[in-house]
Amino acid sequence: MRVGIEVGGTFTDLVVVDDTGVRTSKVPSTPARPDEGAMNAIDAAGIDPTEITELVHGSTVATNAVLERKGARVCLFVTKGTRDILLLQRHDRASIYDLRYRKPEPVVPRRDTFEVDERLAADGRVVRALDEAASEALVRDALAQGDYQAAAICFLHSYADPTHEEALARIIRAVAPEMTVTCSSEVTREFREYERASTTTLAAYVQPVIAGYVTRFSETLAARGFAGRFSIMQSNGGRMPAEAMARNAIAALFSGPAAGVVGAVRGVERAGYRDLITLDMGGTSTDVSLIADGEPELAAMTKIDGLPVKTPVVDIVTVGAGGGSIAWADDGGLLRAGPRSAGATPGPACYGRGGELPTITDAHLIRGTLRSDTFLGGRMDVDAEASRRVFAPLAERFGLSLEEIADSAIRLAEANIVRAIQQVSTERGRDPRDYVLVPFGGAGPLHAARVAEDLNIATVVVPPNAGVLSAAGLLLSDHVHYRARTRRLRVTAETIAEIRATVEELQEEARDYLASLGIEADARFARVLEMRYVGQAFEVAVNLGDRVLGDLSADDLSELFAEAHRRIFEFAKPHGDPVEVVSFRVGAKAPPPETVTVKTQDSPSGSAERRARLVERGEALDAALLPRQALGVSALPGPLLIEDGSSTIYVPPGWSARLDATGNVILERES
């Protein structure tokens, strides 16, 4: 029995695969104690923990610790002269017209930052050696100034040589053995000092939180007889054993959204779809990502609460457009939808948990695209009258009927999603018309056809178990570990051997790390070089794909860079202009010992077709309401509402729906 549990902002989803097939459960999340929500999902599915052989988990614990500023108290040790690095940040402004703009607040204040008298040059040469006796005195004095739970170390240019950081870490552990110590050279061995310092402090900030959470959850499972393998999802789309994640918490920052992308890729690949845009719409937000040739795009850096995190993450754009997003009128009298959300507590008004604000879920109940008698396959009672009550003030303010104001709120949420997809497609040199849209999450299939229409996407593919696909993605993910290193090398015939050797060195490091965790498998490698024209300020990621390193020439590498540069900026300099590699990033991917096939389960809503009245875009529609298993290979024209147990698929007029041979629901737009 294999179980995937994904804790979202509003619901906790579970998928279990065993000899009898597939079962799912979806229960409200418990934000204060996410592990309780996970155990509730296990109980709701009727699972005996003693029978679970493998459990893979993804959660928002690390994310929430940063957003809610509930991490550990951290002291930061930096090179003398760089105490203000977290405050100076960069000279950009996220909102250039905001007169009250303030830079993001770091998680470590200046008073908790201490300077160490040491210095390395950019090439790793020692300019000023670390005095261990003086450093020990500094550490004792610093730790006496506060009740610190974790220490972060980020010395200038330590990516080139971690010796000084490692020496100070030994001193801190000797002085305070119970303290968690995080070195920048362990978290990210890449240049750009502010980004490295931010990543290191965030890693130290969430480390005790994640370690405590994993320990508490593991003990709860063990107390109920669980003795199987326990893994945690990472932001890069791969899983790692829980004990390893307890030492590398920053890698779990965006585990939930990454699991959804993996689930989408694996869910539709058997049908031959390899170029897709994912749309994961849950209760709190919507996450979108672009997949080219069956591989999720990875970003070298992301941000959380405005703070940079330099670690490989699945390239995802998130917008505040979920089922719990609140509809409201701004000071200018315009209708808005999100980004504020009702979340899991109290949730939309229709949930009956005290919610008094109109949300997108309430809007769907009013419009008719969600039905109270089939919500979550009939397993959850909702109050449609409460939805109408909370939307009434907005309808009166704008002089619209309840159905019209609800439809307007939904269309605003869809416009926000379209803008997010443009960020991962057209703004990155990709034409969305060349891709299929793959929606999932509880609300994704409701909005997918209209979002695709606005982007001129002709095909929507809804995989099985779309409402809990992130949980399914946990079971379908590989074990993954990344290594990165900054090493500036100009691309020439003389340096190509050193470039190849650096990639091979990182491959060995990544493979050896997996082996140290007991993951003995023939690993596949993802190899990316961060490259630029000499003199450029920032780099372009160049994916080496499956190319044989020994056959890679300087000309080949320069041409790969030119192609990547042209795709993003629509030009490349003439051949012969000097190009350099700045950083290397290599990931080792090892599939789990046994493969898992997650197929659909029958919807509990019966097989007979019924009718539903709905209002959309100013038009009253009479739609067929039918369960997923009632579809066949012959296309049925919209309007349709297809019940799928954990989600509802809306097929508007001008679209049709059919099942393909692998169980996906295919929505196609009439030409």
54 bridge partner residues: 2, 229
Q: In whole angstroms, what is the distance from residue 127 CA to residue 119 CA? A: 5
User: Both tokens of residue 58?
Assistant: 């993804």
Length of the chain measured in residues: 671
**Per-residue pLDDT tens over the stretch 488-518:** 999 999 999 999 999 999 999 999 999 998 8
Query: What pLDDT, on the 0 to 100 scale, is given for residue 378?
Result: 67
One DSSP character per residue, 253-312 reads: TTHHHHHHHHHHHHHHHTTT--SEEEEEE-SS-EEEEEEETTEE-EES-EEETTEEE-S-
* Phi/psi of residue 46, nearest 5 degrees: 70, 35
**Average pLDDT of the residues in 592-616:** 67
Query: What pLDDT, on the 0 to 100 scale, is given for residue 595?
Result: 61
Q: In whole angstroms, what is the distance from residue 419 CA to residue 96 CA? A: 20
Query: What pLDDT, on the 0 to 100 scale, is given for residue 597?
Result: 63
Q: In whole angstroms, what is the distance from residue 467 CA to residue 27 CA? A: 12
**Per-residue pLDDT tens over the stretch 158-202:** 999 999 999 999 999 999 999 999 999 999 999 999 999 999 999
Query: Are β-strands 74-79 and 150-154 bridged in parallel, bridged antiparallel, or unpaired?
Result: parallel
pTM for the model? 0.86
Give 149's pLDDT tier (boundaries 50, 70, 90): very high
**Average pLDDT of the residues in 543-552:** 90
Is pLDDT larger for residue 484 or for residue 380?
A: 484
Identify the sign of the CA torsion 177, 180, 185, 191.
Answer: negative
Q: Which residue has the tokens 């169980």?
A: 663
Query: What pLDDT, on the 0 to 100 scale, is given for residue 557?
Result: 95
**Per-residue pLDDT tens over the stretch 5-23:** 998 877 889 999 988 888 8
Query: What pLDDT, on the 0 to 100 scale, is given for residue 594?
Result: 64
What percent of the chain has a predicted confidence (pLDDT) above 70? 97
Query: What pLDDT, on the 0 to 100 scale, is given for residue 603?
Result: 47
438 bridge partner residues: 278
433 pLDDT above the threshold of 50: yes
Query: What pLDDT, on the 0 to 100 scale, is given for residue 604?
Result: 47
Selection from 402, 412, 209 nearest residue 330 by Cα:
412
**Average pLDDT of the residues in 630-634:** 91
522 pLDDT above the threshold of 90: no
Peptide bond into 241 cis (omega under 30): no
605 pLDDT above the threshold of 60: no
pLDDT averaged over every residue in the chain: 91
**Average pLDDT of the residues in 282-292:** 90
Distance in Å from the first CA to the final CA of the chain: 45
Query: What pLDDT, on the 0 to 100 scale, is given for residue 151?
Result: 97
Peptide bond into 639 cis (omega under 30): yes
**Per-residue pLDDT tens over the stretch 211-268:** 999 999 999 999 999 999 999 999 999 999 998 887 788 888 888 889 999 999 998 9
Q: Which residue has the tokens 């041409």?
A: 559
Three-state secondary-structure class, residue 238: coil
User: Both tokens of residue 565?
Assistant: 């540069």
Instruction: Answer for the pair 657, 636: CB distance below 8 angstroms, yes or no.
Output: yes
User: What residue ranges define each of the domains in the chain, with the CATH number in brackets?
Assistant: 71-196 (3.40.50), 478-590 (3.30.1490), 610-669 (no CATH)
